[in-house]
Structure 1
Amino acid sequence: MGSWRDTRIGGGVMMAWALATVPLTVVGILLAVPFLGRRRAFFTVGPFFARGMEWFCGIPFTLEGWDRLPEGIRGGRQPVIFMSNHESQMDPPVLVAALPVPAVYIAKKEVKYMPFVGWAAWAAGVIFIDRGDRDRAIRSIHDAAMQIRGGKSVVIFPEGTRSRDGQMLPFKKGGFALALEAGVPIIPLATMGGFQVLPRGSLFFRPGQYRVRVGTPVLPSEFPDRDLLLQEVRQSIETLMLEARETGV
């Protein structure tokens, strides 16, 4: 006999629960800001959303391969650029909870104006990219590179938006220009499970498992050509996704 979560009504209940939990989480973050500061408040309170989804909606998540990274990266002393495929709106909160080190997100500017989510993005220090204004986009990349060189790691979804069918979309080049300017390792990530849990356009959650697989660092200095660097990272993520599918996701 299946779980209540497997029914259409259950999917609607899970969506309603998530929609109610988002503002509660954001309010918790904002209340913590005066005591912890913006970033610390976000990375202390923010993971509770994904943990709540794990508990109530039956959406567990695991992180695989982190222990194979160099100790400086695992300890947060070496800033990096995490690059992941993008299947679902659940990907960012899952990564916030799954990654052991805090990382600034780079997102399209429209996220800034989303109810509650925009406030959480402010607390997290999200760097917004105006893709409709080339000059502003370039300035945002320079700003991000300065923050990375100052010790902050960042997360980028190089597809720029969510996939409609679970297959990776073409990568945009801005993240790779940033990597070459910042000169820090890129950590490929395969974030798997989002297309089953909450595909683009769906109004209903489905129970499922998230797996975040961590790849081998890619050094931009070894790929001075932006297109070659893009191809290397894409191939790394594709390999991680294939490995995940072969082992049961």
Structure 2
Amino acid sequence: MFRTIKWFIYFWYSLIALTPDMKKVKKLNEQGDIVQKDKIVYEKASNWAKNLVDLSGTRVSVIGEDNIPEDEAVLFVSNHQGNFDIPILLGFIKKPKAFVAKEELRKFPLLSTWMEYMNCIFLNRSNSRESIKAVKQGINNLKQGYSMVIFPEGTRSRDGELGEFKPGALKLATKSKASIVPITINGSKNIMTKGSFIIKPAEVEVIISKPIEIEEGMDKDTKSLTENIKNIINDNLEHKEKIYDKKFV
């Protein structure tokens, strides 16, 4: 319980402590110095996210980071095991990135402002018009050179099993022609189980698979592309579970 209390105190105190940096970012944005603005935003956000994960006592290992293209924006497509998935990807994968996040996060003061400066998108699935607008914004972000992260399951998994991908989840890639980089997160569900606010240490593995380039015609039928990416992520999950079984038998 002490770990959980300490974590939440740091969460809010550190956001407040970053207020001077937020003002600097706002000024740079108004001046049109986007390069410097993006540099500060990513540096502050990634350090903050990594500290949040470290405070949970969690150890994260990243496999395959050399699979990420260096000089182009990509769409990271990841499974979604828990609340710590965003700070894990933000703090432990070096490439700057923004997230397609649920609309509820917009209600968090300070946090939502930083997310807006990161070019994150808040998706309201209950409003089709707003959802279409958000997808168009994500496509535009990718075309402008900002990598994005999407969780196509749409919600966290309660047991770690991979859920169904939402229809149209990959439109950001097929419409922008950005390469897709599948990501498998295994173990983050154990940090904060769904329905609980108690934080516990865990071992988390992040597997970055080889990028998939978007070819002509993929924008007309994304079913096979979606199944391909889902199978890649699921295979990584199942392989890891087999390793655990052998280790503890």
Shorter chain as denominator, the TM-score bin is 0.7 to 0.9
Give the TM-score, by structure 2 length.
Answer: 0.85
Match of 2:106 among 88, 109, 112: 112
Deviation at 1:115, TM superposition (A): 4.3
Aligned-residue RMSD, C-alpha: 2.1
> Do the aligned residues in 1 keep the contact of 2:78 with 2:185 (CA within 8 Å)?
yes
1:20 and 2:9 aligned: yes
1:235 and 2:238 aligned: no
Deviation at 1:248, TM superposition (A): 4.1
Moved more, 16-25 or 100-109: 16-25
What is the CA–CA distance in structure 1 between the aligned matches of 2:117 and 2:15, rounded to whole Å? Answer: 9
What is the CA–CA distance in structure 2 between the aligned matches of 1:210 and 1:28, rounded to whole Å? Answer: 28
Residue 129 (structure 1) aligns with: 123
Moved more, 210-219 or 82-91: 210-219
- 1:221 partner SS: coil
Deviation at 1:50, TM superposition (A): 4.0
1:208-244 residue CA offsets vs partner (Å, 9 max, x unmatched): 1121100121223267211111111100111122233
Residue 222 (structure 2) aligns with: 226
Residue 213 (structure 1) aligns with: 207
- 2:113 partner SS: helix
Residue 34 (structure 2) aligns with: none
What is the CA–CA distance in structure 2 between the aligned matches of 1:43 and 1:27, rounded to whole Å? Answer: 17
Residue 43 (structure 1) aligns with: 42
> Do the aligned residues in 2 keep the contact of 1:26 with 1:46 (CA within 8 Å)?
no
> Do the aligned residues in 2 keep the contact of 1:39 with 1:125 (CA within 8 Å)?
no
Residue 95 (structure 2) aligns with: 101
Match of 2:241 among 218, 242, 245: 245
Partner amino acid for 1:45? K
What is the CA–CA distance in structure 2 between the aligned matches of 1:103 and 1:55, rounded to whole Å? Answer: 20
Deviation at 1:126, TM superposition (A): 1.1
Count of matched residue pairs: 233
Moved more, 47-56 or 160-169: 47-56
What is the CA–CA distance in structure 1 between the aligned matches of 2:24 and 2:174, rounded to whole Å? Answer: 36
1:154-201 residue CA offsets vs partner (Å, 9 max, x unmatched): 000111111111112211123212221011111000111111111111
Partner amino acid for 1:59? T
Deviation at 1:84, TM superposition (A): 0.6
Partner amino acid for 1:132? S
1:32-76 residue CA offsets vs partner (Å, 9 max, x unmatched): 134355543332122334433454432111210112x26xx1x2x
- 1:155 partner SS: strand
What is the CA–CA distance in structure 1 between the aligned matches of 2:74 and 2:169, rounded to whole Å? Answer: 12
Match of 2:163 among 157, 162, 169: 169
Match of 1:32 among 12, 21, 24: 21
Unaligned runs of 5+ in 1: 1-11
Residue 84 (structure 2) aligns with: 90
What is the CA–CA distance in structure 1 between the aligned matches of 2:11 and 2:38, rounded to whole Å? Answer: 17
Q: In the superposition, relative to structure 1, how do residues 104 and 53 fare at CA in structure 2: closer, same or farther (>3 Å)?
A: closer
Q: In the superposition, relative to structure 1, how do residues 248 and 35 fare at CA in structure 2: closer, same or farther (>3 Å)?
A: farther
Partner amino acid for 1:19? F
1:99-137 residue CA offsets vs partner (Å, 9 max, x unmatched): 111111111222101344323322322111221221221
1:139 and 2:133 aligned: yes
Residue 184 (structure 1) aligns with: 178
- 2:185 partner SS: strand
